[in-house]
A = this chain, B = another copy of it.
Amino acid sequence: MSTKSAAQRARARQMLEIARRYDLADESKVEISDRLGISRFKVARLLQEARESGLVRITLEHGGEPDEALSRQLARHLALDAAVAVEAYGTVEEIRRIVGTHAGKVLANTVTRGETLGLAWGRTLTHMIESIDHLPSVQILQLNGAVGPSLSQSPVELALKASLIGGNNAKAIMAPLYISDADGVQAIRSQPDIKDVLDSFDTLTTAVVAVGSLNDTGDGSTTSRLLPMLPPAVREELLSSGAVAEACGLTYAADGGLAYRQLSRDHILSISPQQLRRVPRVIAVASDPSKAEAILALRRADVLSELVVDAELAEAILALPAFVRDRDEAPWPA
């Protein structure tokens, strides 16, 4: 309960009166001052105060609607089963949230009871999970290990939240994504609770992955948080290997081949590229045009079947060469 003096209330009422005329009825300050019998300076000051005190609220419409035509174009361009391009304006973070929220709608509307759902990790996916309030009862599997020690931003947390809204049935990978010692990876992979999850990957019916690009500007994305964890030599090797895309901790070159294969094989605790390729439905979620090449690379790697992106990224993808499904089997032009 707020408590104001009568004078304050009268002042607030006058501010609203003026704000209504100025902002909604498009009267000029001079006009208002004449009509209300106060000086135009007072009008200006009350207006300013009204804004500062929150009596007048200006919000920008950040989008959130899918663009049907663009979505179709995108699906055709990459020969995908489905694609959604969401209109989103604003800061990088706002766009991420909008795309994530829409991915949540897609997921909630299409996943059916009894499926096995795999979740990779990324802030976009965090937004996705947080925007969903109900999911059919599904088995949830975390697709890769954790980056960094923070629990609240880890894939474990993501899987936990997903579990809470969908069947209370989630299996997490309680281990780091990158393990420097090759033998150590084998040891961890054969741990019963980890092995259980890794083996279950063969039963996945749907997976949701975030897309990382290796050319990005160190904006705090999952990929850019992964890089500093690598030993300098490994990092150098990776960057010079031609890797342009990252998904589930696996790195791919522009042609769709695994980049720096040995890293993925011996040091990354994650679903394997083969397993990921066998998942019937892999939804990639991404925002920002810088991810365009990465997405094309993942498509060539055949590890994604659906896409949820923002309109700007969609346009950037359309500016790249179209993906042709398996050149060898393409019909020969007459």
Contact = CB atoms under 8 A, between A and B. Distances in A.
Interface of A: 1-4, 6, 9, 12-13, 16-17, 19-20, 23-24, 54-62, 65-71, 87, 89-90, 311-312, 315
Contact of A58 (B1, B6, B9, B56): B56
A12 B89 contact: yes
A312 B6 CA distance: 9
Contacts of A20: 60, 90
Given A13-B312, A16-B90, A89-B13, A61 B67 contact: no
Contacts of A58: 23-24, 56-58
Contacts of A62: 16
A67 B16 contact: no
A106 B65 CA distance: 38
Contacts of A56: 58-61
Nearest to A62: B16
24 contacts: A1-B65, A1-B66, A1-B67, A2-B65, A2-B67, A2-B87, A3-B68, A3-B69, A3-B70, A4-B70, A6-B70, A9-B70, A9-B87, A9-B311, A9-B312, A12-B87, A16-B62, A17-B89, A19-B60, A24-B58, A56-B60, A56-B61, A57-B58, A57-B59
Nearest to A1: B68
A82 to B, nearest CB: 13
Contacts of A57: 58-61
B6 A315 contact: yes
A89 B16 contact: yes
Contacts of A17: 89
A175 to B, nearest CB: 42
A67 B6 CA distance: 10
A68 B315 contact: no
Given A16-B62, A57-B60, 8 more contacts: A3-B67, A3-B68, A3-B70, A4-B70, A9-B312, A16-B89, A23-B60, A24-B58
Contacts of A312: 9, 13
Contact of A59 (B59, B69, B70): B59
B60 A2 contact: no
Given A89-B13, A90-B16, A315-B9, A4 B67 contact: yes
A260 B16 CA distance: 41
A4, A19, A23 pick with most chain B CB within 10 angstroms? A4
B3 A60 contact: no
Contacts of A23: 58, 60
A57 B56 CA distance: 10
Contacts of A67: 1-4, 9
Nearest to A24: B58
Contacts of A66: 1-2
Nearest to A84: B1
A55 B60 contact: yes
